[in-house]
Structure 1
């Protein structure tokens, strides 16, 4: 059986997140593999993959905040809001010339903080059980509902001008569920010239970072982060004695060895992850138990 743990993969451009899962299954010889947070084929960077029992941790990882580096091209709109789509609108050189850096800063500021965002129609969001991008490819007019997201930081690192377009290199720190393609689209619309994404790289998911992540050809030899270390990084840890660990695994409420709010990763004396515990008044109870490792 494959080792249980969290695998950090630096996804290359041109393959899907599911392709990475399939390669991981072949490389590690197990079907029990999943990922937290889809990256489009255009995008590169950090994909968090769970293996064996650690797939149970993915539900606690998927909602973490994300950090991206991206390039936005102002002056063109596409069917998918990124460079994989067909160009459907081109701004005039006069309109491009009217986009000053002051206007760009104002547009970026308007898209920072708590905002309501309509995801790109060409997305993996399900509409009546079918992926939105499949409906779009079938010729349907897909209208997705707006969702509230938080853009903690939207920084412009560089501005490059040409007669027919303006390219912005940006860094975005955002809540889970944010579509960077939609930010590019909405910034371009606000400036009256249209916009789409030409490059996207995810550098962080919560406290996990792409530095040191395995490339897809090295998955078989990659070091996995243990479930205990991964859960502690996401939730913080609480160390429990052996008898408490046993009771938690049996679904019992136990005393709280130290004060905490919310959820924590419960670690037994052997350094194994018991599961995720939640405070219930003066007691705590496991809300997710890990499978016990065979010794």
Structure 2
């Protein structure tokens, strides 16, 4: 059985103004395939790394969604918006005298307080579902939505530059953030402003890294979708960047695809693999499956990628 449709991972540099769904639609047209998905939404205002899976690459997206991410952002202190970013007009304005009293040291202290593990309340205008309905849809319908806090990890939250324009009523703070999956950078902007007593929202956001995938590997989506398509990152290479790898021969690959277990113990890079570990199984240079190390040290396939073996 041969599958000539595109199979692999594409890292793209999402342009401003497009939703992640719109990017998926453009990639479908560009590559001439329907089976395309993405690993984690970027708001239309944001730019930067959006990882997409094509064909069997969509099966790998679940392993990409939960990885850590890096963002460059600009936080504007002095005003808040309903969406916590620049996609809506300010509805909370700080008194200029109060804003002028905020020193750089105060901003640094506020940023430091938001590093590490924190309980973050996501922005109400978000895609989180509440009783089966998107939170943003409930807000737009006039409902007062307050989401439950979520534990996230802010590994890095550093100030790059602070620019004051008190005449215009704001202080802009350029930052870089390394964080766990599920973190809302616009919620960090909102909370920093709230902690300083001056309101805050996000005016710029660029995602520069998703796990092992960064802007250096990203392609720009052309306006002319009849342009030649770039090569996709092979599934084996993408999986190896995300997970420990083990190699199997043709017989082992076929056995895994038939639902059988392969006796262990198993190791990757000279390190023994513990029970419960997820691994990328490679056979003849191809991704056979994402498998799990069982309690008896055997290997059992969880997600099959190879075709024509079972």
After TM superposition, the score normalised by the length of structure 1 is 0.96
Q: Would you say 1:221 and 2:237 are equivalent positions?
A: no
Distance 1:141 1:36, change over 3 A: same
Shift of 1:74: 0.3
The runs of 5 or more residues in structure 2 that have no matched partner are none
- Report Cα offsets for 1:144-172 as digits up to 9, x if no partner: 11100000000000000111111010000
- Report Cα offsets for 1:239-282 as digits up to 9, x if no partner: 112211111111111023433131110000x2010011111122
Residues in 2 aligned to 1:183 and 1:197: alpha-carbon distance in whole angstroms? 9
Contact kept, 8 Å, 1:152 with 1:172, in 2: the verdict is yes
Shift of 1:220: 5.0
- Report Cα offsets for 1:167-225 as digits up to 9, x if no partner: 01000000000000000000000000000000000000111101231111178512210
Aligned length: 293
Contact kept, 8 Å, 1:24 with 1:220, in 2: the verdict is no
Shift of 1:46: 0.3
* Correspondence for 1:63: 66
Residues in 2 aligned to 1:84 and 1:226: alpha-carbon distance in whole angstroms? 36
Q: Would you say 1:278 and 2:292 are equivalent positions?
A: yes
Distance 1:102 1:250, change over 3 A: same
Q: Would you say 1:27 and 2:42 are equivalent positions?
A: no
1:254 aligned counterpart, secondary structure: coil
* Correspondence for 1:236: 244
Shift of 1:293: 6.4
* Correspondence for 2:258: 250
**Superposition pairs for residues 1-295 of structure 1, below 5 Å?**
1-163=4-166, 164-217=169-222, 221-256=229-264, 257-258=266-267, 259-261=272-274, 262-268=277-283, 270-280=284-294, 281-292=296-307
Residues in 1 aligned to 2:40 and 2:248: alpha-carbon distance in whole angstroms? 31
Residues in 1 aligned to 2:98 and 2:15: alpha-carbon distance in whole angstroms? 35
Contact kept, 8 Å, 2:6 with 2:33, in 1: the verdict is no
Contact kept, 8 Å, 2:28 with 2:34, in 1: the verdict is yes
Consecutive aligned runs of 4 or more in structure 1 exceeding 3 Å deviation: none
- Report Cα offsets for 1:4-62 as digits up to 9, x if no partner: 00001100000100001011111111111100000000000000000001100001110
The runs of 5 or more residues in structure 1 that have no matched partner are none
Residues in 2 aligned to 1:69 and 1:138: alpha-carbon distance in whole angstroms? 32
After TM superposition, the score normalised by the length of structure 2 is 0.92
Between 172-181 and 128-137, report the one with greater CA deviation: 128-137
1:273 aligned counterpart, secondary structure: strand
Residues in 2 aligned to 1:109 and 1:58: alpha-carbon distance in whole angstroms? 32
Residues in 2 aligned to 1:236 and 1:202: alpha-carbon distance in whole angstroms? 25
Question: What is the root-mean-square deviation in Å for CA atoms of aligned residues?
Answer: 1.4
Residues in 1 aligned to 2:217 and 2:54: alpha-carbon distance in whole angstroms? 18
